[in-house]
């Protein structure tokens, strides 16, 4: 039985009990009214119960229909699940087949493309490997050659060191050797600057004076028969001793002695007055010092040494300074030669112009004579045609002519071309000008 029906029954029993109790107690008319009201309510409840009973029946029918639909839906869901599982299995099977086939095709195509892409790289790598092998071989060979060259260099350095030691000993012990070394260094500087021995400069030129014979190391020829005297006999013993000294005080004393030696030599050069012995010599003599460090050491002891020597008409020159001087001299000589060539060209031009002017006069006379001859020829042709040819043709008419025919000579109508571009008459200071066509 439905719970709602049971509820209504219980309510009816309760209401009936209440009504019985009310009647049993015989209460007043108000109670009876209450009973009547309760009875009416009971009737209403009964009616509602009957109505609810129909609704419960409908609800049960709807519930049964709902359960039937849910059962149908569940069956459809189960069928769909089975179809899904079947389709999924089929899809997986097809997908696996397609994927396997596609993978095989992809791997095959990828392998082909990879081979195509890698083939140039492989070729390039092989080329690089061959080049690297070649470079490595060359490096090994070069390293062997370098080791040999280093060995030779060490050997040469040892020889240079020995020769330097011998040179230092020779310069210190033999003034003559020191002089030859200075002269050779001076010769090298002058030739490297572009001067030629025997033409631009001369070595060991002697000149006799009242005080004896002077023998400068080099005389450089300058333009306009000027001379530049260079001496290369500076003593370097004190400097060489200073380089070998370990004690600072002794080394400083040697440098002071080196300065004194250079000042003494400059004083002697100034007193010889080379510029007076060679009439066209420069007003100073060049004191050549065969190394920058020799002069630097002296200038560190006396920064005014240069000015002091120049006041005595002695110019201190190292290889760097002398190269600049020699190149300047070479440049002056080149300019002098260019000037001489320009003067010669100008002289040749004047002579050529004069000859062209003379030729022009001859051409003018020839043209004038040609014009006169042309006029005379035309006059002769006219006279021949009017006076001689007419009479001569009568021989042909009378049958006394030869096999040849008398023709009238042609007139010469073209006159000689005059020179129309002759410039105006030049002044006395300038050669005649001829304008070229």
Q: Of 167 and 235, which is predicted with more confidence?
A: 235
pTM of the model: 0.41
Kindly state the DSSP code that residue 313 receives in the 8-state scheme: T
Instruction: List pLDDT tens digits, range 57-113.
Output: 777 777 787 788 778 778 888 877 887 777 777 777 776 777 777 677 767 776 677
Phi/psi-derived region of residue 400, left when phi > 0, alpha when psi is between -120 and 50, beta in every other case: alpha
Indicate whether 437 pLDDT > 60: no
Indicate whether 436 pLDDT > 50: no
Q: Would you state the structure tokens that stand for residue 202, as one six-digit string?
A: 């001369």
pLDDT-based confidence at residue 409 (cuts at 50, 70, 90): low
pLDDT-based confidence at residue 155 (cuts at 50, 70, 90): confident
Instruction: List pLDDT tens digits, range 246-269.
Output: 888 888 898 899 889 889 988 888
Indicate whether 26 pLDDT > 60: no
CA quadruple 44, 49, 52, 53: dihedral sign: negative
Residues of the chain above pLDDT 90, percent: 0
The rounded distance, in Å, linking the Cα atoms of 295 and 305 is: 9
The per-residue pLDDT of the chain, averaged, comes to: 74
The rounded distance, in Å, linking the Cα atoms of 320 and 294 is: 13
Mean pLDDT of the 120-147 span: 79
Mean pLDDT of the 208-230 span: 73
Lowest mean pLDDT among 166-170, 296-300, 304-308, 354-358: 166-170
Q: Which residue has the tokens 């109505």?
A: 51
**Cβ-based neighbour number of residue 323 at 10 Å:** 16
**Cβ within 8 Å of residue 4, ≥6 positions away:** 49, 52, 53, 56
Indicate whether 32 pLDDT > 60: yes
pLDDT value of residue 206:
72
pLDDT value of residue 168:
57
pLDDT value of residue 18:
64
- 52 to 4, 43, 262, 278, 403: CA distances (angstroms): 8, 14, 148, 161, 173
Given CATH 3.30.1450, say whether it is the number of domain 174-317: no
pLDDT value of residue 399:
65
The rounded distance, in Å, linking the Cα atoms of 399 and 249 is: 139
Residues of the chain above pLDDT 70, percent: 67
């Amino acid at each position: 039985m439905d719970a709602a029906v049971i509820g209504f029954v219980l309510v009816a029993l309760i209401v009936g009990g209440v009504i019985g109790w009310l009647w049993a107690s015989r209460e007043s008319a108000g109670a009876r009214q209450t009973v009547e009201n309760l009875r009416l309510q009971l009737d209403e409840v009964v009616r509602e119960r009957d109505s609810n009973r129909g609704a419960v029946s409908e609800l049960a029918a709807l519930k049964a229909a709902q359960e039937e639909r849910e059962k149908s839906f569940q069956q459809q869901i189960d069928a769909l699940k089975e179809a899904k599982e079947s389709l999924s299995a089929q899809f997986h099977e097809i997908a696996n087949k397609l994927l396997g086939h596609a993978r095989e095709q992809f791997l095959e195509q990828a392998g082909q493309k990879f081979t195509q892409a890698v083939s140039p790289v492989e070729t390039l790598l092989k080329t690089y490997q061959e080049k690297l092998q070649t470079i490595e071989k060359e490096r090994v060979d070069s390293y062997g050659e370098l080791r040999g060259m280093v060995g030779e260099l060490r050997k040469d350095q040892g020889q240079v060191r020995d020769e330097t030691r011998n040179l230092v000993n020779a310069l210190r012990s033999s003034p003559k050797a020191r002089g030859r070394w200075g002269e050779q260094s001076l010769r090298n500087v002058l030739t490297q600057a572009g001067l030629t021995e025997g033409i631009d400069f001369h070595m060991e030129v002697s000149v006799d004076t009242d005080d004896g014979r002077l023998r400068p190391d080099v005389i450089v020829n300058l333009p306009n028969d000027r001379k530049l005297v260079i001496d290369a006999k500076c003593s370097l013993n004190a400097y060489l001793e200073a380089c070998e000294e370990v004690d600072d005080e002794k080394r400083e004393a040697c440098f002071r002695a080196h300065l004194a030696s250079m000042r003494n030599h400059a004083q002697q050069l100034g007193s010889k007055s080379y510029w007076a012995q060679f009439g066209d010599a420069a007003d100073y003599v060049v004191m050549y010092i065969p190394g920058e460090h020799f002069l630097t050491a002296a200038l560190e002891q006396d920064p005014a040494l240069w000015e002091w020597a120049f006041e005595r008409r002695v110019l201190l020159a190292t290889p760097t300074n002398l190269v600049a001087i020699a190149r300047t001299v070479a440049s002056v000589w080149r300019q002098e030669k260019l000037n001489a060539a320009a003067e010669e060209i100008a002289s040749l031009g004047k002579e050529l112009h004069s000859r062209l002017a003379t030729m022009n006069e001859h051409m003018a006379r020839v043209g004038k004579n040609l014009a006169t001859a042309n006029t005379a020829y035309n006059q002769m042709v006219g006279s021949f045609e009017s006076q001689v040819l007419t009479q001569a043709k009568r021989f042909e008419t009378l049958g006394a002519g030869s096999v040849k025919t008398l023709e009238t000579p042609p007139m010469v109508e073209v006159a000689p071309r005059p020179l129309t571009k002759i410039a105006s008459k030049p002044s006395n200071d300038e050669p005649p000008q001829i304008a070229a066509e």
